[in-house]
Amino acid sequence: MPHIPITMPQLGESIAEAIVVDIQVTPGDAVTADQEIMEVETNKAVMSVTTPCDGVIERITADTDVSYAVGATLGYLTVNDEDAGRFGLSQSESPSPAESEETKPPSEPAETEGVHFKVEDDQLSQPTSPAPHEEQAQPTVKPTIEGLPVPAKATGASYLSPRLKARMVELGLNKADLAGVAGSGSGGRVTVEDFENFVAELERSKMTPASPMRIAVADSMRRSWTRPLATVGSAVELDALLDHRRTAQQKPGPALYLIRALALALSENTAVAGRLVGSQIVHPKAVDIGFAVEVEDGVLVPVIRDVDRKPLAQLVPIYDRLVQQARNRRLPPEATGAGIATVTNFGTFGIVWATPIPLPEQNLVLGLGRGRKEPVWDETKNAFVPVTGAALTLSFDHRILDGGAAGRLLAHVAALLQKPDDL
């Protein structure tokens, strides 16, 4: 008779493993589909493990008071040929309980790409076949990067079968669209059945079409998030900048001061704005800086070319013209395309602190929060004085920059802002 494994299910999106606290069946017991046979405890609740179909308990491999990873084999169920076929097994190819772990194909490297832990099975590395009914090493949760906490979920939609990929292409969906789908397959994988249930639930929900702008922004952010991104921030005083703006014949916007200061800082070391391709850092050919402009249902990023070579006064009319053209969605070709970094003044929306995401082709995005009057101790006056300050943030590709280098770049930009006459 065919055998199928009883595995630790995905008990929730924040669950990577669970402790078996009670086993309610013994070998030889007849069970029905969805019958509760074990209780397991997570850091949130006590839950049940159920049988996938009717059958007879062949063997229980789990022990109480032992933690098992999602997808670990807890026992084996003897089933009929029809049920075995539903689970993709035939009698001739169904492994015995002792062989099933040995014949399981090794996980592809892509399954653990982008996660901080993976489910490992030490038996996969053993060169010899185990003896019949020999106990197999269970999968365990093992960090792939030492020193980092185990994240919420090991797998989910990390593996997509060819059949599921074809169905997604047919519906115009991508992997990111499955981020909220809880998988019922081995190790929490999203099965075709899970996907079809997800689609059916969508069809019962209220939906409105996303604009082309919204879709473009979503695709850009999805591609950006394939990299390890980080953000650092520091306080910056804005009084010198505001005083300069009040006396200037042309009135630069706060974002333009940042654009010019960032360009000067990057011109001294273009590597920090480079892109990592393979084992090489590709330096930018020019210091072209973009800036975010909110438009209907999205954001456009006009680019000013060679900002390091243009003084602030020369940049004002260019900046003002591009802002208006972006709002009208009439950007000229020379103002589109990749820059080396983006500046965003999210303080205009009342936001104090944020972690903006760099564009896919860029490494850096510099942000400015809302300015506020704050008391700051003045050593020369031996008293608190009112100072207009704001948060200055730098989001970056962590493969190119570490926190120290990012902090130094941010401090350099903040220092340049204190000398607006030199911009």
- What is the pairing mode between strands 341-344 and 289-291? parallel
User: Which domains are present in the chain?
Assistant: 3-143 (2.40.50.100), 162-207 (no CATH), 214-422 (3.30.559.10)
Residue 130: which residues within 8 A CB-CB, separation 6 or more?
98, 99, 102, 123, 136
- What is the pairing mode between strands 364-368 and 341-344? parallel
CB neighbour burial string for 360-388, b if at least 16 within 10 angstroms, e if fewer? bebbbbbbbbebeeeeeeeeeeeeeeebb
Kindly state the helix (H) or strand (E) to which residue 39 belongs, with its residue range.
Answer: strand 36-41
pLDDT for the residue numbered 154: 36
Name the amino acid, one letter, at 189. R
- What is the pairing mode between strands 36-41 and 55-60? unpaired
Which of 259, 247, 241 is closest to 315 using CA atoms?
A: 259
pLDDT digits (tens, 9 = 90+) for 354-370: 999 988 888 899 999 99
- Report CA torsion sign: 285, 286, 291, 295: negative
Nearest-angstrom CA–CA distance, 80 and 76: 13
Q: What is the pTM of this model?
A: 0.57
pLDDT digits (tens, 9 = 90+) for 26-72: 999 999 988 999 988 775 567 789 998 999 999 999 999 888 888 89
First to last CA, the chain: 80
pLDDT digits (tens, 9 = 90+) for 232-261: 999 999 999 999 999 888 889 899 999 999
pLDDT digits (tens, 9 = 90+) for 265-321: 999 988 888 888 888 888 888 999 999 998 877 888 899 999 999 999 999 999 999
Q: What is the DSSP letter of 144?
A: S
